[in-house]
């Protein structure tokens, strides 16, 4: 196919944002225009990416829709392409962004035009991360996302927004500068930063792998976030506006998981093998510790933020089991966490818009006033704790199957996370929805409006759909994951043989 | 005659300065005329640079004056920067009442000095150019003589500058004494590790040059001079002389001193690291934006020198690219500083930018892009500037330098973010005046646009620079 569909999907939101930027005056009419432009671009982008999914060939593990243009002459090419793993993340991004835009239009009153611009730029950068097949291009998109996110947290955030925005920015930046050094080192060691070259043809010498792996790890561990680098996340989530939290939880965290799968395992098999115990240790601590912390939270957003850290702990366990079930499980877990955490943050946003409090104690008895909200919130609570029939279950069970093959202790400890999740989520639900109405503020609360129902029910539909029928997801990633593991094992034996010599 | 053909731009500039002086003497209140004429003269000089073909490579006057691709590129940078600085500072000069006819003439003569420095291939020619540009700058720094801060800045700059010139001259004399020549090629031939006198001379010369680019530990003058001088002069100081100073830095290290790279490499690494660290840390507490920009420029010179420390052609190219992008970003930032004006009073405090985004969305968007670019965040041009430097540094396997450099990037991101916070997150203040002249707007918008779209076609600058090969 000659039409550069990946570039179109990536840069369409940017073009939309330029249009909004050019709308100069701030009358109601022009703000409405800005809203239409944002909704239109993001939905067209969703359609484009669905079209991309349908024309994607699931019978091959090769990268597809490859675009290759000269970029920095003599050094790097601008290379785009997708395989079964990345296409799902692109779909997740293009699916979540329009919902975010709708929720922004529904609830944000101040400087809405700038918010829409930031969201659309963010979408471009996020899709770019998943499309890029060159390490430098990847870095460009990966790091560029900091700018709009910093502004989203800082301008539209809560009372401690400045502190959180700075913490988010500086933590992530510090993590990624080492990634930059590693990328440049790879270029000088192997002479290329082209991912296809690096994955298939070039082996990075063993002695370099450990340090390079650690450099990549430092970036992804901060972004994911893994314990003990997670402290920016609760702050950022609590202070960010709803749409910011959604983007952060649903997509930004997934960039790191994707990075682990694509780069850490793909490029450094020996080091990945070597550092697996470290990852398991940190993930288990993350699962158990942050679940316990989540139990004690009084702030709803903070609770969900900590639960995200725990869920991401599952993801890293799954990735580094390096079994087919584990990897597929963690990809599905990431997609489903993208849907569920987005929905949970939107749910919190709904009541926050009305009551302006995120404290659990200021709620209670919502079921009497807002029954629709109670139902929707219940679906996502159950999905978050991994009830069978929701997509959360599929991911977790696959990860645990993978973990049991590799290390029973890890699997047992990880399973405890499922129980903790049930504890904190159900307790949260009980305190917010059931009980008596104690807070007089709640009397004037009203139930979900049409936009909110549309946003939340579309998320609920996908959560349940993939819970009952995960086949479309599994079919898409199946061959790519098998190929990844095959490559990994081949490389590992190659290095072992080399060491034996 | 062939030789004179090649220095037509310099000759033209010299004669124009004389003529302008005459006009200044015989016509009263001729500032406007002279200012406009000098912009035209700079433009004409710029065009005259392309009088000879770009790949001419010649050494004139007994090999003491080099005309090559490198010098051409640096002269082009100098002149472009100079023209834009002139255009953007016109209003400022008139409003604070330093519109004397000497001002543009001093700028021109310092530009002439820089052009001579850039082409110099001989210690004496180099020193002549250096003094011409420095002396003009000392006067310019104290140009607002009724303001005691400006006089103080000029005096400080002069005393410290004269000291460093003295050290430099002493270094030159040592080198001449031990190598028997002032010509760069001949010095290179006589240079060897065992000659302590020569090594001594190198150290003195490096000290003098480090002073001119305001690298740590010879940076003390920069914050005071930047803060005290009239903003138009600060802009000039922050942008234009850096080109010439770095050019001679490169020339010295890579032509006469290249054989003793082991001797100077450690010095440059130290200077570069110290500048990066001090530039990042000391800027955090600043409240005056000009002072902050002084520390920021110290930090940036640290990165530029990191490229030189590698001793490779990639390093030189990285430094030149860094310099070009640095000029662009600083031009934009200083254009914004010129715009901080309410009722003919110019404000310099960072707090005065508070809530700018509500009143002036376009200026604050430009500042946003420029500041993120200065912090080196992709996909803006500032990231590429750092990227090329670190490409060279990592190729030379100087990992400590690379890691320290990138960590200071994170620290310095903090104070750039602080300005962005003040612009975007804080409550708004009174509006600034919006009647900026065309030149100021052009230099702001142009620099912002180039910084924003640089990532689309980064090959352009690389292609231009890749012809610079000194080794």
Provide, as residue numbers in chain A, all residues whose Cβ is less than 8 Å from the Cβ of B387. 136, 180, 184
Q: Find the CB nearest B421 among A73, A154, A180.
A: A154
> Helices B289-309 and B381-395: crossing angle, nearest 10°?
30
Chain-centre distance of CA A392, in angstroms?
A: 14
Sequence-distant (6+) residues with CB within 8 A of A73 are B459, B462, B463
Q: Considering only alpha carbons, which residue of chain B is nearest residue A22?
A: B362
The reply to whether residue B403 touches residue A181, judged by beta carbons under 8 angstroms, is: yes
- Asked whether A327 and A484 are in contact (CB, 8 A), the reply is yes
CA distance B410 to chain A (A): 6
Is the CB of A154 less than 8 angstroms away from the CB of B424?
A: yes
Confirm or reject contact between B355 and chain A (CB < 8 A). Answer: no
Question: Nearest-CA residue of chain B relative to A21?
Answer: B362
Q: Name the residue facing A184 among B394, B424, B466 (closest C-beta).
A: B394
User: Over 90: is that where the pLDDT of A61 sits?
Assistant: no
Tell which wins on pLDDT, B277 or B195.
B277
Cβ of A143 within 8 Å of Cβ of B406? The answer is: no
Are residues B417 and A169, on separate chains, in Cβ contact within 8 Å? yes
Select the highest-mean-pLDDT range: A30-34, A99-103, B456-460: A99-103
Q: Give the residue-averaged pLDDT of A261-280.
A: 91
* Mean pLDDT over each residue of chain A, to the nearest integer: 90
**A45-49, A160-164, A286-290, B145-149: the lowest-pLDDT one:** B145-149
* In contact, A80 and A436? CB cutoff 8 Å: no
Q: What is the DSSP string of A374-408?
A: HHHHHHHHHHHTT-TTSHHHHHHHHHHHHHHHH-H
| d(CA B69, nearest CA chain A) in Å | 20
Give the distance from residue A18's alpha carbon to the nearest chain B alpha carbon, in angstroms.
12
> pLDDT digits over A154-203, tens only?
999 888 899 999 999 999 999 888 899 999 999 998 888 888 888 887 77
| CA distance linking residue A347 with residue A140, whole number of Å | 33
How far is the C-alpha of B153 from the C-alpha of B151, rounded, in Å? 5
Residues of B in contact with A150 (CB under 8 A): 417, 420
Residue A207 is predicted with a pLDDT of 85
pLDDT at position A28 is 82
The first and second tokens of residue A115, run together, are 């918010």
pLDDT at A448: 85
Crossing angle of helices A391-406 and A324-355, in 10° steps, is: 140
Nearest to A352 by CA among A98, A155, A94, A156: A156
B438 close to A (CB below 8 A): no
Q: Give the per-residue pLDDT at A17.
A: 92
Per the prediction, chain B carries an average pLDDT of 89
pLDDT (average), residues A19-38: 86
Residue B464: per-residue pLDDT? 86
Query: Mutual orientation of helices B69-95 and B102-119 as an angle, nearest 10°?
Result: 160
Closest by CA position to B130, among listed B155, B148, B110, B144: B110
Task: Give kind and range of the element (H or E) at residue A78.
Answer: strand A76-82
**Given an 8 Å threshold on Cβ–Cβ distance, is A181 in contact with B402?**
yes
> pTM for this one?
0.93
Is residue A228 reached through a cis peptide bond, with omega within 30 degrees of 0 on the bond before it?
A: yes
- Which distant-in-sequence residues (6+ apart) come within 8 Å of A219 by Cβ? A142, A175, A176, A178, A179, A256, A259
Determine what percent of chain A is predicted with pLDDT higher than 70. 100
Q: At what angle do helices B399-424 and A146-156 cross, to 10 degrees?
A: 30
Separation in Å, CA of A177 to nearest CA in chain B: 6
pLDDT of A1 reads 52
Do residues B311 and B317 touch, judged by C-beta distance below 8 A? no
Distance, CA of B401 to CA of B310 (rounded, Å)? 10
Cβ-Cβ contacts under 8 Å, A147 against chain B: 372, 377
B463 to chain A, closest Cα gap in Å = 8
Residues of B in contact with A165 (CB under 8 A): 421, 425
Q: Using one digit for the tens of pLDDT, what is the confidence trace for B430-443?
A: 888 877 788 888 88
From first CA to last CA, the distance across chain A in angstroms is 46
Residues B298/B239, Cβ–Cβ less than 8 Å: no
**Backbone CA torsion sign across B347, B349, B352, B355:** positive
Minimal Cα distance from A160: which residue of B?
B425
pLDDT bucket at B247, cuts 50 / 70 / 90: very high
Beta bridge pairs of residue A79: A68
* pLDDT for A199: 84
* B413 contacts A170? CB cut-off 8 A: yes
Query: Which one, of B319, B158, B177, lies nearest residue B254 by Cα?
Result: B319
Q: Do A184 and B391 touch (CB under 8 A)?
A: yes
What SS3 state is found at A128?
helix
Q: Which of B360, B240, B225, B244 is nearest to B293 (CA)?
A: B225
pLDDT at B15 over 90: yes
Contact list, B399 vs chain A (CB under 8 Å): 181
How many Å lie between the alpha carbon of A481 and the closest alpha carbon of chain B? Answer: 31
Tokens of A121: 């730029």
The shortest C-alpha distance from B420 to chain A (Å) reads: 9
3-state per-residue secondary structure call for B218-243: CCCHHHHHHHHCCHHHHHHHHHHHHH
ipTM of the complex: 0.92
Q: Check pLDDT > 70 for residue B1.
A: no
What's the confidence (pLDDT) of residue A279? 92
pLDDT tens digits for range B322-365: 999 999 999 999 998 888 888 888 888 888 888 888 888 888 89
pLDDT beyond 80 at B104: yes
CA distance B406 to chain A (A): 6
Q: Do B414 and A71 touch (CB under 8 A)?
A: no
Q: Which long-range contacts (CB under 8 A, 24 or more apart) does B358-365 make?
A: B358/B428, B359/B428, B359/B431, B359/B432, B360/B431, B360/B432, B360/B434, B363/B336, B363/B339, B363/B444, B364/B423, B364/B424, B365/B448
- Closest residue in A to B360 (Cα) is A24
Give the residue on B whose Cα is nearest the Cα of A125: B379
* A30 close to A100: Cβ distance less than 8 angstroms: no
Cβ-based contacts of B463 with chain A (< 8 Å): 73
Provide mean pLDDT across the span A369-395. Answer: 91
CB contact under 8 A, A170 and B410: yes
Cis peptide before A348 (omega within 30 of 0): no
Q: What is the pLDDT of residue A482?
A: 92
For A161, the closest of B383, B402, B425 (CB atoms) is: B425
Burial class (CB in 10 A: 0-12, 13-18, 19+), B94: middle
- Structure confidence at residue A460 (pLDDT): 94
Spell out which residues of chain A touch residue B394, defining contact as CB-CB under 8 Å.
181, 184-185, 188
Taking residues B106-131, what's their average pLDDT? 92
User: Cβ of B417 and A150 within 8 Å?
Assistant: yes
Q: B424 CA to chain A: closest CA distance, Å?
A: 7
């Amino acid at each position: 196919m000659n039409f550069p569909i990946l570039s179109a999907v990536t840069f369409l939101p940017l073009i939309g944002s330029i249009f909004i930027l050019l709308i100069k005056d701030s009358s109601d009419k022009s703000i409405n225009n800005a809203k239409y432009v944002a909704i239109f671009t993001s939905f067209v982008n969703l359609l484009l990416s669905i079209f991309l999914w349908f024309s994607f060939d699931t019978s091959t593990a090769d990268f597809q829709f490859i675009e290759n243009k000269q970029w920095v002459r003599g050094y790097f090419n601008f290379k785009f392409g997708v395989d079964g793993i990345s296409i799902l993340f692109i779909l997740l991004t293009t699916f979540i962004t329009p919902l975010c835009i709708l929720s922004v239009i529904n609830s944000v009153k101040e400087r809405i035009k700038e918010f829409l611009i930031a969201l659309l730029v963010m979408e471009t950068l996020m899709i770019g991360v998943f499309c890029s097949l060159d390490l430098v291009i990847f870095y460009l998109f990966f790091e560029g996302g900091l700018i709009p996110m910093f502004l989203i947290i800082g301008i539209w955030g809560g009372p401690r927004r400045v502190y959180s925005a700075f913490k988010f920015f500086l933590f992530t930046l510090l993590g990624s500068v080492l990634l930059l050094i590693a990328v440049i080192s790879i270029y000088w060691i192997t002479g290329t930063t082209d991912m296809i070259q690096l994955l298939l043809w070039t082996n990075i010498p063993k002695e370099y792998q450990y340090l390079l792996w650690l450099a990549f790890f430092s970036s992804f561990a901060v972004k994911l976030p893994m314990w003990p680098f997670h402290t920016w996340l609760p702050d950022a989530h609590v202070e960010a506006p709803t749409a910011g939290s959604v983007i952060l939880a649903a997509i930004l965290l997934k960039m790191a998981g994707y990075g682990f799968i694509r780069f850490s395992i793909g490029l450094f098999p020996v080091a990945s093998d070597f550092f697996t115990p470290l990852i398991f240790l940190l993930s288990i601590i993350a699962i158990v510790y942050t679940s316990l912390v989540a139990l004690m939270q009084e702030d709803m957003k903070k609770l969900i933020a900590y639960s995200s850290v725990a869920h991401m702990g599952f993801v890293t366990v799954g990735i580094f089991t390096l079994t087919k079930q584990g990897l597929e499980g963690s990809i599905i877990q990431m997609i489903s966490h993208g849907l569920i955490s987005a929905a949970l943050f939107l749910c919190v946003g709904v009541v926050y818009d009305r009551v302006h409090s995120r404290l659990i104690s200021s709620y209670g008895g919502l079921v009497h006033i807002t029954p629709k909200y109670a139902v929707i919130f219940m679906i996502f609570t159950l999905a978050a704790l991994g009830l069978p029939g929701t997509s959360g279950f599929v991911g977790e069970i696959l990860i645990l199957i993978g973990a049991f093959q590799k290390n029973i202790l890890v699997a047992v400890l990880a399973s405890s996370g499922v129980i903790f999740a049930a504890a904190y989520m159900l307790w949260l639900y009980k305190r917010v929805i059931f009980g008596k109405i104690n807070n007089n503020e709640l009397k004037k609360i009203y139930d979900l409006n049409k936009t909110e129902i549309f946003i939340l029910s579309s998320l609920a539909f996908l959560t349940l759909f993939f819970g009952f029928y995960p086949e479309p997801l599994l079919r898409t990633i199946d061959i790519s994951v098998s190929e990844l593991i095959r490559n990994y094992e081949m490389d590992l034996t190659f290095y072992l043989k080399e060491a034996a010599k | 005659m062939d030789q004179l053909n090649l220095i037509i731009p310099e000759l033209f500039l010299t004669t124009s300065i004389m003529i302008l002086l005459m006009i200044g003497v015989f016509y009263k209140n001729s500032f406007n005329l002279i200012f406009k004429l000098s912009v035209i003269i700079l433009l004409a000089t710029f065009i005259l640079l392309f009088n000879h073909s770009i790949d001419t490579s010649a050494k004139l006057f007994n090999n003491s004056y080099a005309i090559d691709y490198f010098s051409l590129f640096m002269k082009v940078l100098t002149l472009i920067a100079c023209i834009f600085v002139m255009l953007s500072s016109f209003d400022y000069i008139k409003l604070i009442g330093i519109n004397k006819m000497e001002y543009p003439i001093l700028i021109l003569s310092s530009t002439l000095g820089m052009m001579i420095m850039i082409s110099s291939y001989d210690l004496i020619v180099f020193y002549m150019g250096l003094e011409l540009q420095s002396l003009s700058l000392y006067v310019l720094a104290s140009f607002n003589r009724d303001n005691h801060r400006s006089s103080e800045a000029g005096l400080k700059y002069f005393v410290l500058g004269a000291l460093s010139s003295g050290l430099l001259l002493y270094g030159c004399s040592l080198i001449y004494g031990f190598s028997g020549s002032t010509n760069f090629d001949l010095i290179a031939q006589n240079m060897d590790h065992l000659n302590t006198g020569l090594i001594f001379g190198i150290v003195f010369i490096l000290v003098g040059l480090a002073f001119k680019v305001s690298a740590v530990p010879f940076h003390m003058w920069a914050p005071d001079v930047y803060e005290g001088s009239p903003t138009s002069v600060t802009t000039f100081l922050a942008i234009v002389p850096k080109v010439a100073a770095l050019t001679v830095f490169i020339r010295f290290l890579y032509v006469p001193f290249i054989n003793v790279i082991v001797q100077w490499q450690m010095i440059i690494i130290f200077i570069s690291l110290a500048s990066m660290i001090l530039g990042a840390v000391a800027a955090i507490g600043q409240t005056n934006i000009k002072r902050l920009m002084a520390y920021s420029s110290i930090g940036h010179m640290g990165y530029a020198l990191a490229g030189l420390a590698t001793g490779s052609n990639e390093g030189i190219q990285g430094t030149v690219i860094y310099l070009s992008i640095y000029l662009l970003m600083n031009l934009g930032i200083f254009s914004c500083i010129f715009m901080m004006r309410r009722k003919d009073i110019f404000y310099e405090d960072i707090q005065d930018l508070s809530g700018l985004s509500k009143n002036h969305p376009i200026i604050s968007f430009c500042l946003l892009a420029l500041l993120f670019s200065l912090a080196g965040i992709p996909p803006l041009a500032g990231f590429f500037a750092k990227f090329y430097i670190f490409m060279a540094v990592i190729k030379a396997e100087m990992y400590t330098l690379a890691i320290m450099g990138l960590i200071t990037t994170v620290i310095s991101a903090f104070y750039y973010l602080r300005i962005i916070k003040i612009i975007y997150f804080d409550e708004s203040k009174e509006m600034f005046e919006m009647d900026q002249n065309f030149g100021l707007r052009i230099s702001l918008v142009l620099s912002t646009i180039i910084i924003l779209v640089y990532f689309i076609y980064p090959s352009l600058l690389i292609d231009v620079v890749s012809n610079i090969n000194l080794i």
